[in-house]
Amino acid sequence: MSKHPETASGTLLSISDVERVFGGERKLFGGQTPAVHAVQNISLDVRKGETLGVVGESGCGKSTLARLIVGLDSPTGGTIHFDGEDLSELAKTDRRTLARKVQYVFQDPVASLNPRKTIQTILEAPLKHLTKLNKEGRKKRLEELLGAVNLAPEFLERYPHEFSGGQAQRIGIARALAAGPELIVLDEPVSALDVSVQAQVLNLLDDLKNRFGLTYIFISHDLSVVESVSDHVAVMYFGRLAELGPARDIFAKPMHPYTDLLMRSAPAPGRHDLLAEDASAELPDPYNPPPGCAFSARCAYRTEKCLANRPSANETVGCNASHFAACYHPLASA
């Protein structure tokens, strides 16, 4: 894993040692409010044109990571570089420049559209503020955008509540595309949609990626969706990376027991034997994190070492040199 973004060729986004702590402020009369590490020691690179899938259960910090990448939030430690530039610095000084390069698609398509604005107003906002297009140019671009996401032009005059989830998500995607970004962060873009619509949106995203040469960071809790879209996958647990590597390797030979657990819990048509853990399997208390591996309480392979020490993100390297797992006792370690 490269700590120097300049050296890696083709790297678009480079995250090194990023940390985001919530709370921990000084109180009026001394003392500190309790602190939670939402994201900790995350280092990863995203190459131009690839899709990085980020998987994890709710509360694992994947959405916090997404907000850091688009500059809606800034890290309390570590750096994020986009194309060699410090992204969090850019977010503070020149948000518009950043917004031209990095965009975001929200999980809840309807909630991400202002209920009192027409689709035209919503889609024109990024064109107005982020591009130098004049009125004519904006009109042309709007038509292009609607065409790109397969929506009829008459939808422009309507309000968000008149749309189904799938249509609203297309509008969300069109908005993200408007200013011609290089990187789009998709935060659970299909989890609020019906399966039938989910496939439509996934196909659309594939198509747009090829057409506009986009780079995606695709966040989801659904492994099968992530598998079908990703080139690389990052599995997160309790704010840290559990496993990182090429999608093919991770899904064929998961090294971290947590990845394996996720894969075996996923329901699939025709599958009857779901793996079920004990009810006592719970996430650790975020205010009082365990000293060792956060997953150890749920892990069948844990040893004294796991309880006492925390494995580093690249504790184990798989057969592919870019496949890492934060585990002392990886599965099928070859």
Partner 1 sequence: MTDATMTAPAQAKKKPAGRPSTVALLFNNTLATVGLVIVALICLTALAAPFLPLPDPDVTAPANRLMPVFSDDHLLGTDHLGRDLLSRLIWGTRVSLAVGLSATVIAAFFGSLLGLVAGYAGGRVDTLIMRGIDMVMAFPYILLALAIVAVLGPGLLNALYAIALVNIPFFARNIRGITLGLSRREFVDAAKLAGKSPPQILFIEILPNVLPVIVITMSTTVGWMVLETAGLSFLGLGAQPPQADLGSMLGEGRKILFTAPHVSIIPGLMIFALVMSINLLGDGIRDILDPRLRAGSLSRPVARTKVIRDPKDIPPPSIEPGVLDIRDMRTEFQIGGSVYKAVGGVDLHLKKGECLGIIGESGSGKSVTAMSVMGLVPTPPGRIVGGAAYLNGEDLFGASDKRVRDLRGGSVAYVFQDPLSTLHPLFTVGDQLLEAIQAHQPLRGPKAKEKAIELLSLVRIPNAPERLAAYPHELSGGMRQRVCIAMALANDAKVLIADEPTTALDVTVQSQILTLMNGLRRERNAAILFITHDFGVVSAICDRVAVMYAGRIVETGTTAELMENPQHPYTAKLIDCVPVLGQPERRTDAIEGRPPVVNNLPDGCAFADRCPRVQAVCRTGQIDLEMANETRGVRCLFPMNMEPRDVKTS
- Antiparallel, parallel or unpaired: β 102-105 and 183-187: parallel
Residues 33-72 as x/- pattern, contact with partner 1 by CB under 8 A: ------------------------xx-----------x-x
Q: Which of residues 250-289 bind partner 1 (CB under 8 A)?
A: 251, 261-263, 265-272, 274-283
Provide DSSP, 206-230: HHHHHHHT-EEEEEES-HHHHHHH-
E strands, the chain, are 11-23, 35-47, 51-55, 77-82, 85-86, 102-105, 183-187, 215-220, 232-237, 240-246, 316-317, 324-325
CB of 115 or CB of 304, closer to partner 1: 115
Contacting residue, 2, 74, 76, 200, with partner 1 by CB under 8 A: 200
**Six-digit token pair at 313?**
């993100």
Using DSSP's 3-state secondary structure scheme, residue 291 falls into coil
Q: Which of residues 204-243 bind partner 1 (CB under 8 A)?
A: 221-225, 227-228
First to last CA, the chain: 20
CB of 43 or CB of 183, closer to partner 1: 183
> Residue 188 and residue 192: Cα distance in Å, rounded?
8
Q: Which of residues 154-193 bind partner 1 (CB under 8 A)?
A: 161-162, 164-166, 172, 175-176, 178-179
> Rounded to the nearest 10 degrees, what angle do helices 165-177 and 195-212 cross at?
20
CB of 187 to partner 1, least distance (A): 10
CB of 3 or CB of 96, closer to partner 1: 96
CB of 153 to partner 1, least distance (A): 18
Q: How many residues bind partner 1 (CB under 8 A)?
A: 74
Residues 118-157 as x/- pattern, contact with partner 1 by CB under 8 A: -------xx-xxx---------------------------
**Six-digit token pair at 129?**
């503020």
Residue 297 in the binding site for partner 1 (CB under 8 A): no
